[in-house]
Amino acid sequence: MKILIIQHKMIGDVLLTSLLCENIKKAFPNTIVDYLINSNTLPVLENNPYIDNKIIFEEKEIKGLIKLVKFSKRINQNQYDVVIDAYSKLQSWVDVFINDAQKKISYKKPGRTLIYTDNVEKHNEPHSYLGLAIEHRLALLKPLGIETPLITEPKLYLTIDEINFAKDLFEKHQVDTTRKTVMISLLGSDPSKTYPLNKIAEMVDFIGQNYNVNILFNYFPKQINQAKEVYNQLSKETQEKIYFELLGNDLREFIAIANECDLIVGNDGGAINMSKALGKKSFIIFSPWIDKKVWATFEDGINHTSVHLKDYFPERFKKLNNRQIKKQVNEFYSVFDFELFKDKLDGFLNNNLLGEQFINKNNVEIETKKEYSIRSMSTKISALLITYNEEKNMRRYLNDVDFADEIIIIDSYSIDKTEEIAIQNPKVTFIKRKFDNFTNQRNYGLSLAKNDWVTFFDADEGISTQLKKEIISIFNNQPKFDAYFVYRKFFFKKKHIKYSGMQNDKAIRIFKKSKSQYRLDRMVHEIIECNGEVGFLTNKLDHYTFDNEQEYLDKLNSYSSLRAQELRLKGLKPSFYHYKIKPAYRFLNYFVMRLGFLDGKDGYTIAKLHAISVANRYKYLDEIYRKENQNLG
């Protein structure tokens, strides 16, 4: 079988689409896989062992429909069995239309379905931490029978000579190898994708003044004036950490240099995607007109995180499409201040530069942050977690509880990569247990903990840097209480919900197991009973719930099903009051009495979903009774 994959244009697109090549080769080893790309993207595919032939499209030479048709006819002479069009625009339509392949695969788009034999639907919300850009591409494999791709992360392939070139270059420029190296993605692929240079300078200065690292600027020689513009705005302390003239002459040299760095910070674009493919950690600033849901690949809040103006001012984007935003991009950038995400960048750097020495504002060297070292903990803690399909949260969770002496995960037979990710951590004990209810899962976890003190955070809860410091400080100085409440910041569709009853949301997440147990009469919304004194933590826990309404309703309905079982044990018989009055009251309670209307449309949605889940609770209870009656009959 011969397969042609088409992906014109940008470096990031070509790199991500190369995932198809590797997956096809591993699923069908004898298949010939050819890849049609633009000539300027060729360097990211060099040495890739999963591509048999690279077909080069010279954009400057193949202009006009006649030349494009001639080019497509030449390709058709290769007699492909399958064509996968990951680009799906005019250039590739001609290629596909002319091709005689029996199977032609692309995305379903209005007016184009007749060109293809298989039109794959795109979804609007990411289903995993991979991001839509990767999820959409992997969906193109389904018509070939590849339902579960083996490979989800693209790779770059360096030769030994290239690796040695970069090492020699670092030595030539006398880079301090005792420090970690941060690459700055200084410029986007065009001005509309470039964070204003004065704000980039402010961000770089923050890094240089607060972290003892090497700093490299990513720019091409022709962009040197823009690079100097940023450099000249920096403090002397930061300039001394920058190796300004260390750069590559071409794309392969850049890749080799990026391979020697530890992480990359800055504008979204090819540099970010290539660094990720080298296994480097990333902090991305997205342009206001770019869809973060598509390009925030591998976003786990730890190794990869990003910021978008929409995260902070969603109301500015209402009723505007990407084209409209792009026309006003300078206006949007003018309010996208570094102060908005400084703390988030600080948290990312703290997580990924641990073990380095830090510099305070007075340029006085201070010791490595000991509060993050498990060895400095005077009281040992067991971190417990119950899971089912939590791959998108697992990396963040493991990083958040890295202060724990052991991590015990009770999994309900996940079918995603939860286990694969978890067991890479040497502290993890991964146990599978059939799910019956939340309380039993949690109490089972408690029975396995070797330490008296435990944390029981959920996978969708994020421990901020400040909260982690507070927890470790408490246990270094001996806890004064037997359990601790922590207040939670509720996020729905990645937006902070300030009201809707969430303003006082709290839960016990740290406690002594010798004095605590989850109440056995609750199957859901578990309650800790503590036979001792309970205190409160000062810093809040980030509670990331769901990215769309259906996910949230599904979760609420799962709770409703368990709650219905509780009510059956109590002998409750549902009536008109339960079916109609209680759901209406729940809506009013959340939207009016709990001030949900102040959260606008999201507040209305949350109140509505909770009302539906209450109605479903009694529907499920009625179904239990009907099944019992049928069995008796």
pLDDT band at 610 (very low <50, low <70, confident <90, very high): confident
* Cα 131 to Cα 304: distance, rounded to the nearest angstrom: 12
* Cα 299 to Cα 301: distance, rounded to the nearest angstrom: 6
CA dihedral 281, 285, 290, 294 (to 10 degrees): 20
The contacts of residue 123 (CB under 8 Å, 6+ apart) are 132, 135, 136
What single DSSP character describes residue 589? I
If one counts every other C-beta atom within 10 angstroms of the C-beta of residue 178, the result is 9
| Residue with tokens 């994959």, as numbered in its chain | 5
Q: Which of 9-18, 368-377, 554-563 has the lowest mean pLDDT?
A: 368-377
pLDDT at 252: 93
The pLDDT of 343-371, averaged and rounded, is 57
pLDDT at 133: 93
E strand map for 175-316: 181-185, 214-218, 263-267, 281-285, 304-307
**Residue 27 scores a pLDDT above 70:** yes
Phi, psi of 374 (to 5 degrees): -60, -35
Q: Which of 499-503, 533-537, 604-608 has the lowest mean pLDDT?
A: 499-503
pLDDT band at 596 (very low <50, low <70, confident <90, very high): confident
Query: Residue-wise over 419-450: b if at least 16 C-beta within 10 A, else e?
Result: bebbeebebbebeeeeeeebbbbbebbbeebe
Contact 195, 333 (CB under 8 A): yes
* Cα 452 to Cα 371: distance, rounded to the nearest angstrom: 21
- 3-state class (DSSP) for residue 427: coil
Q: Which two tokens stand for residue 318?
A: 């209402």
Which among 158-172, 482-496, 518-532 has the top mean pLDDT?
158-172
**Residue 367 scores a pLDDT above 50:** no
* Cα 13 to Cα 88: distance, rounded to the nearest angstrom: 12
Pairing type for strands 516-518 and 528-530 reads antiparallel
What 3 state SS string does 511-544 have?
A: EEHHHEEECCCCCCCCCEEECCCEEECCCCEEEE
Domains and CATH numbers, the chain: 2-144 (3.40.50.2000), 160-365 (3.40.50.2000), 372-544 (3.90.550.10), 549-632 (no CATH)
If one compares 257 and 362, the residue with the highest pLDDT of the two is 257
Nearest residue to 179 (alpha-carbon basis) of 241, 246, 239: 241
DSSP conformation letters of 438-493: HHHHHHHHHHH-SSSEEE---TTEE--HHHHHHHHHHHHS--SSSEEEEEEEEEET
**Residue 358 scores a pLDDT above 50:** no
219-250 per-position pLDDT tens digit: 888 899 999 999 999 999 999 999 998 988 88
pLDDT at 374: 39
Q: Which residues pair with 105 in a beta bridge?
A: 84, 118
What 3 state SS string does 209-221 have?
A: HHECCEEEEECCH
**Residue 597 scores a pLDDT above 70:** yes
Residue type, position 615, single letter: A
Contact 52, 61 (CB under 8 A): no
In angstroms, how far is CA 411 from the centroid of its own chain?
Answer: 21
- 3-state class (DSSP) for residue 387: strand
Q: Which of 15-24, 251-260, 347-356, 403-412 has the lowest mean pLDDT?
A: 347-356
Q: Which of 183-197, 230-244, 515-529 has the lowest mean pLDDT?
A: 515-529
Contact 242, 234 (CB under 8 A): yes
pLDDT at 469: 84
| Residue with tokens 């694969």, as numbered in its chain | 420
List Cα–Cα distances, 586 to 108, 355, 614, in angstroms: 40, 49, 8
pLDDT at 631: 75
Apex 352 CA angle, 408 and 186, nearest 5:
145
pLDDT at 111: 82
The pLDDT of 427-442, averaged and rounded, is 89
The pLDDT of 263-278, averaged and rounded, is 94
The pLDDT of 10-37, averaged and rounded, is 94
* Cα 340 to Cα 65: distance, rounded to the nearest angstrom: 47
Q: Which of 144-153, 158-167, 405-414, 538-547 has the lowest mean pLDDT?
A: 538-547
| Residue with tokens 């970069």, as numbered in its chain | 166
| Residue with tokens 């001005």, as numbered in its chain | 191
pLDDT at 17: 96
pLDDT at 371: 36
* Cα 57 to Cα 72: distance, rounded to the nearest angstrom: 10
Nearest residue to 266 (alpha-carbon basis) of 341, 331, 350: 341
271-318 per-position pLDDT tens digit: 999 999 998 999 999 999 999 989 999 887 778 999 999 989 988 898
| Residue with tokens 């590559």, as numbered in its chain | 248
Apex 245 CA angle, 244 and 250, nearest 5:
120
121-176 per-position pLDDT tens digit: 999 888 878 889 999 999 999 999 998 888 888 999 999 999 999 999 999 999 99
**Residue 524 scores a pLDDT above 80:** no
Contact 524, 479 (CB under 8 A): no
DSSP conformation letters of 80-148: -SEEEESS-SHHHHHHHHH---SEEEEE--TTTGGG-SEEEPP-SS-SSTT-HHHHHHHHTTGGGT--S
pLDDT band at 523 (very low <50, low <70, confident <90, very high): low
pLDDT at 369: 36
pLDDT at 291: 92
Please state, rounded to an integer, the average pLDDT across all residues of the chain: 87
pLDDT at 525: 55
**Residue 549 scores a pLDDT above 80:** no
pLDDT at 592: 86
pLDDT at 372: 38
The pLDDT of 593-616, averaged and rounded, is 85
The whole-model pTM stands at 0.59
Q: Which two tokens stand for residue 435?
A: 């799910």
Q: How many CA atoms lie within 13 A of 614 on its CB side?
A: 21
**Residue 106 scores a pLDDT above 60:** yes
Residues in the chain: 633
End-to-end CA separation in angstroms for the chain = 59
pLDDT band at 268 (very low <50, low <70, confident <90, very high): very high
pLDDT band at 519 (very low <50, low <70, confident <90, very high): confident
| Residue with tokens 């209406």, as numbered in its chain | 584
Pairing type for strands 428-432 and 406-411 reads parallel
pLDDT at 478: 80
Quote the percentage of the chain above a pLDDT of 70: 93
44-89 per-position pLDDT tens digit: 999 999 999 999 998 777 778 898 899 999 999 999 999 999 998 8
Q: Which residues pair with 281 in a beta bridge?
A: 263
* Cα 185 to Cα 282: distance, rounded to the nearest angstrom: 10
